[in-house]
Structure 1
Amino acid sequence: MTLTNEDLLAISQLLDVKLDAKLKPMENDIKSIKDEQTRIKDEQTRIKDEQTRIKDEQTRISLIIENDILHEINILVENYVPAAKRYQDATSQIEAMQADMDIMKKVISDHSEKLKKIS
């Protein structure tokens, strides 16, 4: 049996239809993969941009801490420590003065009573 050109053309067209039917899902899958790859690349770019922004913000915050906050804390410490030392040293003097005042109140009260009796 010999195949004519028409038979071969019909077979060729049939094979083309079947091949297209098999290739179409693969083409769709490849397109989906490419779309997903593009989406992933876009997301990676967005993440890198966000990381850069976060690093810049971290640098800015670090500079604020170093230049402003630590400087202000050092000033507070320079003033607080000597004042605290003075207050600590003055505590015993204050207690002694309180004791002296209590004695003076008693003496004055006592003298007031004596003066009332005299007058």
Structure 2
Amino acid sequence: MTENEMLQAIYSDMQNMKNDMQEMKTDMQNMKADMQNMKSDMKEMKTDMQGMKTDMQGMKTDMQGMKTDMQGTKTDMRGMKTDMQGMKTDIRDLKGRVSGIEMTLENETNRNIRIIAEGHADLCRKLDEALKVENEKELLLVRTNIMENDIRKIKDKLEIA
């Protein structure tokens, strides 16, 4: 092999190496871009994770609040139970009072109303009798008036005649 051929072979190898290096450089730039994208994605994931952490903290606070509310509800339920027992007692008392009022209405008030109504009916009958006499009296006065006029007319005619 001659020097020229050797140089040509070295040059050809160098060209191949240069091409390989160029490809490696391109691959490295692509890798660098991919790494940048991954870094950006990781930042987004970190932000998302931070948001999730905040949300989880909020949920934890909400759960704690719900737990407190449940304890308050438990206390309220006990109070309601006491209130319900009081209401039952009040209802029993009211039933007793209503029964007493019903008995009073049936036994006393209704009888008294009946007695008063009977007395009223008697008064109405007596008033009707009194008015009947008064009506007859008025009729008699009207008749008397008419007769007096008739007598006056007769007297006037007798005097003329």
Q: Scaled by the length of structure 1, what TM-score is found?
A: 0.72
Instruction: Report the secondary structure of 1:38's partner residue.
Output: helix
The counterpart of 1:37, out of the listed 23, 45, 62, is 45
Aligned to 1:3: 11
CA distance in 1, matches of 2:31, 2:74: 63
Q: How many residues align?
A: 117
1:102 paired to 2:130? no
Question: What is the CA-CA distance between 1:14 and the residue it aligns to?
Answer: 1.8
Aligned to 2:64: 56
Q: What's the C-alpha RMSD, in Å, of the aligned pairs? A: 3.0
User: 51-60 or 93-102: which moved more?
Assistant: 93-102
- Which runs of 5 or more residues in structure 1 are unaligned? none
CA distance in 2, matches of 1:22, 1:65: 62
The counterpart of 1:77, out of the listed 81, 84, 87, is 84
Deviations 1:30-89 (A, max 9, x none): 12331232023212211220121112101221222223x224313322321111112223
CA distance in 2, matches of 1:114, 1:15: 133
User: 104-113 or 51-60: which moved more?
Assistant: 104-113
% identity of equivalent residues: 9
User: 100-109 or 4-13: which moved more?
Assistant: 4-13
**Amino acid corresponding to residue 95 of structure 2 in structure 1:** Q
Question: What is the CA-CA distance between 1:7 and the residue it aligns to?
Answer: 4.9
**Amino acid corresponding to residue 93 of structure 2 in structure 1:** R
Q: Considering only CA atoms, is the larger Rg found in Structure 1 or Structure 2?
A: 2
